Amino acid sequence: MLVFVAVVVIGLFSLTRLPIDQFPEMEPPYVSVMTIYSGANGSEIETNVTKILENSLNSVDDLKEITSTSKDNMSLVTLEFEWGTDLDEATNDIRSSIDMVTDELPDGCSKPLIFKFNTSMMPIMQYAFTAEESYPGLEKILDDNVINVLNRIDGIGNLSLSGAPERYIYIDLDPKKLEAYNLSLETVGNAIGSNNLNLASGSVKMGKEQYQLRVQGEYVESSEINDIVVTTSADGRQVYVRDLATVRDTIKDISLDEKINSQNGVRLIVMKQSGANTVQIANDVRKQMERIKQQLPPDIKVQMIYDSSEEINNAINGLVESIFYALLFVVLVVLFFLGKWRATIIIGLTIPISLLTAFVYLALADSSLNIISLCSLTIAIGMVVDDAIVVLENITKHIERGSRPREAAIYATNEVWVSVIATTLVIVAVFMPLTMLSGQAGIMFKELGWIVTIVVCTSTTIAISLTPMLCSKLLKSVKVSVDEHGNLVEEKTKIGWYERYVVGFLNKVDNWYANALRACLNHKAITLIVVTLIFAGSLVPLFLGFIGTDFMPQQDNGRMSVTIELQRGTRIEETMRTAREIEKRMMVLVPEIQLISTSAGTNDDAGISAMFSTTNNNKITMTVRCLKKYERERTIFEIAEVIRQELASMPEVITYQVSTSSGMGGGGASTVDVEIYGYDFVTTNLLAEEISQKLKDVPGARDIDITREEDRAELQIIFDKEKLARHGLTEATVSTYVRNRVNGMTAGYLKEDGEEYDIVIRLQEAFRSSITDLEELTMPSATGQLVKLKELARIEEYWCPPTIERKSRQRIVTVKVTPVGVSLGELAISIQHMLEDVNIPQGINVALAGDYEDQQETFGDMGMLLALILLLVYIVMASQFESFSKPFIIMMAVPFAITGVILALLITDTSLDMIGALGVILLVGIVVKNGIVLVDYINLMRDRGYELNEAIALSGASRLRPVLMTALTTILGMVPMALSTSEGSEMWVPMGIVVIGGAFVSTMITLIVVPVLYAIMSRHGERDKAIKEQKEYIFMQLDPHDDKGTVDNPQK
């Protein structure tokens, strides 16, 4: 007793310590190697860097797939490992592989940079700040008031602002004036830079004192720059900066435009440290944010774009609700069948205690309360009561025969504990293999396997220890008295409505079932044929493809991300205008929208984060947040469809994708990828184009996207080497000069309040916006003379080679397709058909991949798992029954579980996904358990000498209630899960449906098929056994009067 109290206390303690998360901790097994090789274009990078790295990295252990991107200046090789690989180890391997080829890499190429992709790079929250008057100073305000405050929160990772207006000091030069004064841009830049200094110039001793000598020349205000003297002209006049240029103290020229609900705004992206608790951090951030709001200027508005903790909380709350309902239902079922509240309490107590041990496990395993662990608990609830029920039943039987509760508890438990453990072993045999599953599914289901195993084992321990103990205390012995004749009279228990109606009803069901069973036993052949027909019939929809298959269910979390691509080369201002228009249309079409956060263009300070973003000047990305799922009538998928149609009707939109996924963990949209492998750009591009055109006719195919970028127009400066040499210039110096003039030269910083702002000097925009302008650029030669660019080089327009993507060391183009309204599997099949009609040129391979590939892989794993589980269960049962045929009989019920699954999926129009497939595996456990109860009892009755058919009918009648009870507790335990509509419920609804359907049908079938099969299988077996036994005990046939009848000389 005290042990269990301790367990409860530890369990509750663990529960309070458990973090809440969406999924179990999983580290995505990706490692990237980034190499910068400035000046090289995509195909040069491919041959000189990427290929060399790929060949070397290909030998790293546990490598699953190697993909690479080669674009201008950069090569990125991504290695995908098997899930569960130790990435630290892998990183070491990678490092040594890279070291081996470092010498082969071209000179001037940077050292390859290895970095792991981890979950902390995923934003957990996004805020939008919109401002009016304070917009220009927004960056500073947010930096001081928001980022600094939030950074103090425990576990917070990176905080970054996107689209913040940065303060810049621009000095726009007039090239004509420069020429007039015979100055170069660099002279001006150097003049500005060298007048902006704080320097220590030694120390001076004066009398007894010593002074530090300092030059304090830094600009205090940007206007000071105007008065810098650049040079003194030949006639002695001083040339000021203001004579040559205008100084603008302003915000950076836009190349990235962030708008929130069409207002100027900034996005704050919050990331957490790896392993930190998302929910905890999000709560802290929200709390801080409330306080911060007060301190911000009144025109700054804060809005939440995205909060991943909200989703997690909703999902977890939904599941917790399901657990409580499941608990309630299970207790009600037990009460209904037992009809005694004391007994029900005893049984009911096993549930919380068993579940609490799961929390202890979770705490010890450093895991969290997540969707998987809570789903496991729901599954377990239906199973934990079974053992306790068996024990309780036997104890009650003893008590009814007049034993005192204490004795009854002891002896009744002794009688059944072995068989209780045996049935538990079956469940363990089903769930333990889950812990061995590899891959992504393995990480998710490891927890499930352990939890159910642990919970079921605990429940068995409780059933044979705590349950009898409680029985001995709580149950009352039958009240008896002795009447006047000395006869024993049992005191009549009050006949309540329960005895009258429920027991009567149950008895009727028992009798009806026994009769039905007898009838079936008399018509075995017919029964079997009918049942087989039902089974075969149910397989038809499966083969006809009515049952779709998905990898991971798509979730409706009220968010969409929209990517729109306009005509290549569109200038940012034009893109912004289109973005505003689209926003307006969307607001009209979709009143559910709460917030649209749009970014257009690109941030030209390429950092690591820029590597992942593909925003270019012609691209718009929008994050759209709608009302919560239960506050609107249309699903997010319907809304996305509306937006897709609208975008399709806009002529300026070239391509678009509307994805409804959160992009987090497994909830992402599943895609089918058509991979085209081939070396030649032209052929593969044409094929990709053809395929994507044909895909538009495939039903359900949306968001078709070709990953290879189209050739991009570029201006190239082609130098005349002779002329360069004549002026004493090199390509390197000239390209720096061009860069300084067009992009700007950073001539130091303006310091204010501890912040540094760039001073950028460049030509006025009007003098650098056409090819002619560029040709007119003047630059100093080695002798100090000014030369025009056109004297050194010509400028040509050309198409730059695209980004080159490779997979498995081959060039690849991927056409991505998202299924809408159809399942992943269905889409993949129709694409497969479509591909058969496509004429694929020689030397090019086409393959289906993407989530479809993952799905196939996982389903393959699941199939293996199912086989393994069936084998294990068979072994456990075979040793339990000491028979090879009986387990087989029981397992015959498993296919009918599949019938139920198919029917349930068909009726509810759900497609089978990874979680659903898991449900199928669980069914094995449930179904087999039912069979065991029945077959075990038939065996018992046969051993006790009943005739076969009679034994079967009797067992049927007697075991009907336990079987129904087990099935009902499981089914009703799943009902809340199947019906749940909370956010994120898409994850577990299929599993609920699968288990309910499968358990329901298979229970019905078990009750008929198993007895009939038993009858067929045993008839011969048992008769043969009797004859065999007779032969073994041959001494019975000896005639003792005959001396010949010895063992040495047996009688014929």
Partner 1 sequence: MKAVFIVFNQANTERVEYMLDQLKISGFTFFEQVQGRGTNGGEPRRGTHTWPEMNSAVITVVNDDQVEKLLQTVHKLDCRNKEVGVRAFVWNIEQTV
Write out the residues near partner 1 by the rule CB under 8 A: 398, 401-404, 406-408, 411, 414-416, 418-419, 480, 488, 939-940, 943-944
Distance (Å, whole) CA 627 – CA 78: 37
Q: How far apart are CA 29 and CA 198, in angstroms?
A: 49
DSSP assignment letter at 369 = B
The CA distance from 350 to 222, in Å, is 76
Measured distance between the N- and C-terminal CA atoms of the chain, rounded to whole angstroms: 66
- Contact 172/226 with Cβ under 8 angstroms? no
Distance CA 740, CA 747 (A): 10
DSSP assignment letter at 31: E
What are phi and psi for residue 125, nearest 5 degrees?
-145, 155
Distance, in Å, from the CA atom of 237 to the CA atom of 500, rounded to the nearest integer, reads 118
Nearest partner of 361 among 435, 270, 260, 468, judged by Cα: 435
Closest CB to partner 1 among residues 938, 996: 938
506: three-class secondary structure by DSSP: helix
Instruction: Determine contact, residues 305/126, Cβ cutoff 8 Å.
Output: yes
Is 83 strand, coil or helix? coil
Q: Cβ of residue 419: shortest distance to partner 1, in angstroms?
A: 7
- In this structure, what token pair is assigned to residue 28? 């995505």
Nearest distance in Å: CB 962, partner 1:
16
Residue 584, both tokens: 């307006």
Q: Could you tell me which of 1008, 56, 1044 has the C-alpha nearest to residue 535?
A: 1008
Measured in degrees and rounded to the nearest 5, phi and psi for residue 486 equal: 80, 15
Least spacing, CB of residue 417 vs partner 1, in Å: 10
Nearer residue to partner 1 within complex by CB, 481 or 839 = 481
Element (H, E) at 232: strand 229-232
DSSP state of 912: B
Q: Measured between alpha carbons, how far is 93 from 81 in angstroms, rounded to an integer? A: 12
CB of 476 to partner 1, least distance (A): 16
Q: Which of 133, 131, 135, 162 minimizes the C-alpha distance to 147?
A: 162
CA 971 to each of CA 315, 622, 688, 933: distance values in angstroms, whole numbers, following the listed order = 21, 43, 48, 17
Q: What angle do CA 971, 976, 980 make, to 5 degrees?
A: 140
Tokens of 867: 């086989």
- Show the tokens assigned to 577: 């205008």
> Would you say 7 or 932 has its CB closer to partner 1?
932
**Shortest distance, CB of residue 943 to partner 1, whole angstroms?**
4
480 or 588, CB closer to partner 1?
480
Q: How many CB atoms lie within 10 A of CB 932?
A: 24
CA distance linking residue 108 with residue 51, whole number of Å: 17
Using the minimum distance from each CB to partner 1, give the nearer residue, 88 or 943: 943
Backbone φ, ψ for residue 570 (5° rounding): -65, 135
Residue 298 CB-half CA count within 13 A: 0
Sign of the dihedral through C-alpha 679, 682, 688, 690: negative
| For partner 1, the closer CB: 403 or 823 | 403
Long-range contacts of 523-527 (CB under 8 A, 24+ apart): 524/1012, 524/1015, 524/1016, 527/1008, 527/1009, 527/1012
d(CA 150, CA 148): 6
Check if the beta carbon of residue 239 is closer than 8 Å to that of residue 181: yes
The structure tokens 């729109």 sit at: 564
* Structure tokens given for 79: 């290695």
